[in-house]
Each structure stands twice: as C-alpha cells, then as structure tokens.
Structure 1
Amino acid sequence: MTWLITGGAGFIGAHVVRAMLAAGERVAVFDDLSTGDPARVPDGVTFVKGSVLDGALLRETLSGLGIDGVVHLAAKKQVGESVERPLFYYRENVEGLRTLLEAAADTGVRRFLFSSSAAVYGTPDVDLVTEDTPCAPVNPYGETKLAGEWLVRATGRAHGMTTACLRYFNVAGAADELLADTGVFNLVPMVFEKLTEGGAPVVFGDDYDTPDGSCERDFIHVEDIASAHLAAARVLGEREPGSDLTVNIGRGEGVSVREMITLIGEVTGYGSAAAPVSAPRRAGDPARVVASADRIRAELGWTARHDTRAMVASAWSGWCHRLPDARR
C-alpha cells in the first residue's frame, strides 16, 4: 500500500512521513512549499510540488503513483490570519479538500486520514473535551476544519472510503533539528523568540478561573502526533468501507501557560529572565482546553509517550540550530 501525504514537507507532515517510513509504509509527498521545506523530504521519497486546488495534478499523481490512501495535512492554520482572510482560508482549506477528495474518489483511493484540530470545539466549558463535546468553532480556521470533517465523512460514506478525522491539540517539539517548527505561531516558539531577542514572554490574560490565572492547554509532542497517524492508518485497513473514526490526539493533561513558560526558562537556561508579563485576554481564548484521550486509547491502542519537558527540550534544540551562537 502507498500513502500520499499532502503537506509532507511541513512541520507535522515531515514527522508523519518519517514515522510511516520507519514502520515500513510506502509514502509519497505532495506539497506546494508555501510553508514546507523540501529538505525535510527524505531521500528516495517521491515528491510532487503542487497545490491541492489543482485537480488535474492530483489525479495524475494519485493514479500515476498507485496511491491507495491519503493523509491530508496541507492547510492554512493561523487563527488570526483566518479572521482577516476568511475567503482565503475557506478556499485553501475547504475547496482544497473538496478538490482532493474528488480526485481521490475518481482514482479509487480507499482510505483517507484528515488532519483536524481542537479548534473545532471552540470554547468548551468542560474539564475534559471528549469527541462528543459539541463543536462550536469561534474563528474561520476552526470552521474550515469542522466543515472539512463533514466533507470527509460524507465522501467516505458515498464512495466507500474508510476515513479518520484526527483532532490535534497543542503541538510542540521535534524529532530532530532539521524537522523543527520554523513558524512562530504557537506558545513555545513565541516564548523562544521573546527570550532570544531579549524580551519578556507574554501571558494573555491572568484572571482566568484556573489555579494560576492563566489558560490551561493540552500540549502534545509532534512525534506522538506522528505515531497516532501511523496507528490510525493501520486501523483503517481493518475497518468497513465507508466507516469513519474521529479521535482527539492529546495527553489528557492540562498545563497552564505560566507553568509552560517556567519550564521553558528552566530548559533553556534563561531562568528568571523568562518571567512573563501580563497582557489583556485575547478574544475567544477559553480558560481550559484539555483532551480526553480515552477514545484514541480504546480505538487505536495509542497513548502519548512524551512529556512537556521533552517537547520543550527538543523544540529548543531545533530553534537553536537556526540561530547565531550569540543569540542562543
């Protein structure tokens, strides 16, 4: 069986490629390189540069490479940008997915894994978010992910594809320096950037109903994200055509923003220099978003292996790899 991994030159996608190769799966990568890096694609892996909006190229790729399954990670994912450019996000994330699914159906693809997000839940007022928690996204990015789930499931039922929607929580870490996240859109790299530029990390909101007043999140190592994709890919081969699996990918453990910043100070050696400053709450930030990991454990036999210290240490190694010595 051969898998096509869209977005396979990106931060998460490159980790999925490595995990599947290490497990003996055959893979190919499809990426437009808008944020991906071709250096992340391992030697010997077929790489096709293209957009998921290009139906003709997708059909040529899927049929020409004999693709049996697709892992779809290619998407735009900046929440703030999605608010400013909703039409762009709906085109890239929803129309791109529709085009890919149409090409997959036309070429006989039987399995389809969709990269979704905890953003589909919006601001849940629960201690642990289960897959049955109502979905109420609060920004266009989350809306496109929820619409994508609907589209994937409907297509699977109509065309006999076995599908899975994997809802990521807060991804951090790196398997090695070359695969590190080069974006500065999530908490860990945002703190790294502040520290290495001589600034103070920022906590947005210090009056939430949590033990230390800052938001609590479920942080998950990117290597665990990758191993969950591998587990889902293998389980899909055992399920009935047209069936769907929807699972959270998280550790089921809440870590506050302040706790994470303190840990970053310890791991990086910045210590008290990492003391944060407070800023007003950001609109739409819930106090606590932590996954229930019960379903993924039951359905896939999967459990996260890495703790937050491992996430921070590996992410810091990757961050330092691309900085001048004087700024480390």
Structure 2
Amino acid sequence: IWDVDRKSEWSIWIVHSKIEIPHRYMHGMGDSSSPRHSLRRVSSSKKLHHDPVQNASSRAELHRKSIAQMKINARSVQDMHIYANPSRVPVVLIEQHVMVVPQHGCNKYLLANAPDLYNTSVPPNLQGDSFAGNPSGGKNTGHVLRAVIFVHGFQGHHLDLCLIRNQWLLRDPGAECLLSETNEDRTYGDFKEMGRRLANEVVSFLKNKLDKYSRHGGCRELRLSFVGHSIGNVIIRSALSEPKLQPFLKNLHTYMSISGPHLGYWYSSNSLFNSGLWLMKRLKGLQCMHQLTFTDEQDPQNTFFYKLCKVHRLNLSTSC
C-alpha cells in the first residue's frame, strides 16, 4: 500500500499530453521524403512561432501551482519533506504526436506506413565504435565490445551504482554494463574469496557477450572497464590478480574508483567510528575488517593489503 501511494504521489510530476498533427501537413510528401521527415518539418515550423523552452517553462509553472494546492496523503509513514520546495522539483512533460489520418480518401502509402506515423521517435543510428567498420569505409569488420563492471561496497546492493551506470550510458551509449551481484550479502569475508567470485562473474559475463557478438558480425576489440565504490575497489583489485582474468588484462580500458580505501584503514581520529570498527571485528569476526585494518597478520608485510599493493595490475603497461 505504501509503495502504491508513493507511486501515485510522484506521478503528479509527470504531465502527459497528446498533440494531433493534421493530415494536410503530409500533402507535400514525395518519393524523397518519409513520414518522419514530414513530422520533423512540422515540429520545426512550430518552433518558429513558439519558443519550446518558454512554452515548457510556462506549462511547468502552471502545473507546480496546481500541485502546491494539493494535500499529500499522510496516512503512511513517510518523509513529509521529500518533495522539498515544489518550485524546484522538475516537471516531466511527455508529448505524444499523433497523425490524424482521414478514414476516407487516404492514399495507400499512408495506410501502409500507419504504424510509423504514430511513432515520432527516431531511433539513434549506430555510430562510432558501437558498430565500427574499417577506416576505408568498406565492409564492417566487427563490433567493439565495451564492457563496464560496477561493483558495490560493504553490505551493498547491486543496484547501488545504478545511477552511475545511467550516467555512464549517457556518455557511452551501447556499452555493455554488469551490476555485480555475486558478492551481495557476502561482503564480510575474505577479500581474496570476494575477488575470486567477482572474477568468475566477470569472465562468465564476457563470454556471454562475446558469444552474442560472434553471432552478429564478430568482435574485433574488447575494452574492459571497472567502476567500484568503497571496498568494491579492493574487490576489483583482488579479482584482477585472479588467474581467470589474466587473459583480459590486456583489454583494460578505464578504472573509476569512488571512495576506495586503497591503503586500508589504519589511522582514524574518530573514536566513535573506531569503537564500531572494533565491535565488528571482535563480535562479528568480519575478515574483511581485519584485512582493512592490517590485523589479519602479525607481520605487516604478510597482510593482505601489503601483498595486494605488490601486485601491479592497474598500471600503464596494462593500458588502463
């Protein structure tokens, strides 16, 4: 019930509208044009008379004023300040352009392309490396597989980096993304084991993608990237030292570390945090916490982090 109520409340910030485009705008369509081209001409002529930005801003402002007069259902436990200032919450305007085709007297071409008339969105073209051909402009020689692995942190969820994944895809459309799940609910053990599980998951993911690409023109290049949050960065480094990932080290491309404890956690001036850390090590017996604080071995040179720093995987020689 709470989930349904929240969806209903958030849906008020989305405004749906349907714009009918009269059939008379299609009269100039010749052999060199298409319904989509004609739709673009209609929309472009409309922009000459109305500023789309100003129009959208005015509609959003009117909608915010109507929202300000609404009462939020307070029967469920919720944060009453989740909406902040209504004037600062974005309003999403969704317009559906519909071509009005006469029932009588319409030509066969319009009827044959009726589905396209109701779909004004133009699919993006495959550009750049997503379907790369040879420089001479000849026959395509295969795809470039751009694989990005996202690894969450301590006691995290595989969707923790979902927003980062979405931002990545905005900059790199067509990238194949994996939100790692193999260590979910298992981030309390040995970093070596977590790294081994991640390596197996990555290899399985890459094999599946390579098999898929082989059925659609082949894969001429692989670019493997990693994004880690918190101890997910340590898990990534541990996975890169696993034998299963050795064949892919030459394909490393980008590495993004978000708040990664690459030097462990040895010193801290926060007594409260140190007390909680001590309780987790003593009462929970979390192996990863012992490794983070260099208490997994008496000799510092035998600790996990010391040995991990001796394994050079994220250096220039691997093109990372």
| Bucket of the pairwise TM-score, normalised by the shorter protein | under 0.3
Higher relative contact order (CA 8 A, sep 6+): 1
Larger Rg: 2
Q: Structure 2-normalised TM-score?
A: 0.28
Q: Structure 1-normalised TM-score?
A: 0.27
